[in-house]
Structure 1
Amino acid sequence: MEIKEDQELIKIDQVDEKIISLLNEDGRMSYRKISRELDISVGTVHNRVEKLMKTGVIKKFAPIIDHSRLGYKLTAIIGVRVKGGLLKNWENRTAYHKNVLAVYDVTGEYDAFLIAKFKDTNGLDEFVKGLLKEPDVQRTYTQTVLNVVKEDLGSPKML
C-alpha cells in the first residue's frame, strides 16, 4: 500500500499495515503485545513504529474523547463564507476555538466547514452569532446532527 505525504508516496508493507491496524484499535497497545499478535520481535515493532512516525504516516497518538460524556451532546456542521484572500487567517484563529473539532477547506458555495460540539443550543447560538460578528465572515450555514450513524475520529479502516 502507498500513502501520500506532501507529494511523496510512502510505501508500507503488510507488517506495517497490521501494526497500524492494531494501534488504531488500541493506541496504548504495548510493542510486546503487538509483537506477540504478529509473531515478530519487539525490536521490529519498535523500528517499524519509529519509521512510520518519522515518515509522517503516524502523526501522533491521541485519545478519542466521547464528548457526550462531558456534556457536549450537540454536534453542528457549520459552513462559512469568508471574504476573499482572508480564509487562512480566519481558519488559523477559528481552528483553536474550544468547541471546534475540525476545519475543512471545501469547494462550492462555502469556503470552509466546521465540525463543532456544544452542550446545548445556547452555546451553538452564541458561537454562530460570534462568527457572524467577525469582519472576515460573510455568511454561515448551520446544520445540527440529529443522529450519529458513524463517528470514528481515529484512522479510517482503509488499510
Structure 2
Amino acid sequence: MKLSSNTISMKIDRIDKSIIRHLQENGRIQNNDLAKHIGLSPSSCLRRVKLLEEAGIIQSYTTLVDPQKVGLQLILFSRIWLIGQDAETIDIFIEAMKELPQVMECYIILGECDAMLKVIVPDLESYRKFQSSHLTKKNGITSVKTDLPSQIIKQSYQLPL
C-alpha cells in the first residue's frame, strides 16, 4: 500500500521515533498493541501514526519475501555508465529503470559510474537476457559492469532511529 507523500513538514520526537522503530519491526502490529509498547492511549497513538503517514515520513507498508523461496536466486549489482550527462538522457534512464521489476534499487551516483542498480533474477541466463534487452543504448546506457556478491552479510530495511 503506497501512501501519499504530502509536503507536510513535521518535526519528530522520541515518541514518533519509537513508533517508527516498532512499525519497522512489525508493520502489521495492531494499534492497541503499538500503543501499549509506546505508552500512549490507542487514540493518541493512531493520531501520531496518521500524522507520520500524512507527512510522508511513513511512506508505505510492505511484506518482505525470501527471494530464494520464490525462485529469485541471483542478486547482482550493475554499475551503469550513461551515454551523456544531459537531463534528457538521465530522464530516459530513470523512467526505464522505474518500469523494470527486476531492478530492486536504482541510484544516480556521483563518482566513477553514473548509476548503480540492484537487480534480482532467477539465474545468470535471466540476467544476460535482462541486460541485453534493457541495459542498452535505447535506455541511455553506454556501458555496464556487473558484480556478483558471493555472500550476503547484512541486509536491513530498518532505519537506525
If the length of structure 1 is used for normalisation, what is the TM-score? 0.88
Matched position secondary structure for 1:11: coil
What is the CA-CA distance between 1:9 and the residue it aligns to? 6.6
Measured against aligned partners, the alpha-carbon deviations of 1:5-53 in whole angstroms (never above 9, x if no partner) come to 9x99742111111110110000000110011112210011111001111
Instruction: State yes or no: 1:147 paired with 2:151.
Output: yes
Contact 1:95–1:102 at 8 Å: present in 2 too?
Answer: no
RMSD (Å) for aligned C-alpha atoms: 2.1
Distance 1:100 1:108, change over 3 A: same
What is the CA-CA distance between 1:117 and the residue it aligns to? 0.6
Instruction: State yes or no: 1:35 paired with 2:38.
Output: no
Matched position secondary structure for 1:102: strand
Which residue matches 2:122?
119
Which residue matches 2:99?
96
Measured against aligned partners, the alpha-carbon deviations of 1:52-73 in whole angstroms (never above 9, x if no partner) come to 1111111111112221111111
**What pairs up with 1:5-84 in 2 under 5 angstroms?**
10-84=10-84
Cα distance in 2 for partners of 1:28, 1:151 equals: 20
Cα distance in 2 for partners of 1:109, 1:118 equals: 25
Matched position secondary structure for 2:68: helix
Considering Cα pairs closer than 8 Å and 6+ residues apart, tell me whether 1 or 2 has the greater RCO.
Answer: 2
Distance 1:71 1:22, change over 3 A: same
1:52 partner amino acid: L
Contact 1:78–1:115 at 8 Å: present in 2 too?
Answer: yes
Contact 2:8–2:56 at 8 Å: present in 1 too?
Answer: no
Cα distance in 1 for partners of 2:38, 2:52 equals: 17
2:143 partner amino acid: R
What is the CA-CA distance between 1:100 and the residue it aligns to? 0.9
What is the CA-CA distance between 1:132 and the residue it aligns to? 4.6
Residue-pair matches, total: 153
Q: Which has the higher strand share?
A: 1
Measured against aligned partners, the alpha-carbon deviations of 1:57-106 in whole angstroms (never above 9, x if no partner) come to 11111112221111111100001111222012212112221211011010
Cα distance in 1 for partners of 2:150, 2:98 equals: 24
- Could you list the runs of 5+ residues in structure 1 that have no partner in the other structure? none
Indicate the percent of aligned positions where both proteins have the same amino acid: 22
**Which runs of structure 1 show a deviation greater than 6 angstroms over 4 or more consecutive aligned residues?**
none
- Could you list the runs of 5+ residues in structure 2 that have no partner in the other structure? none
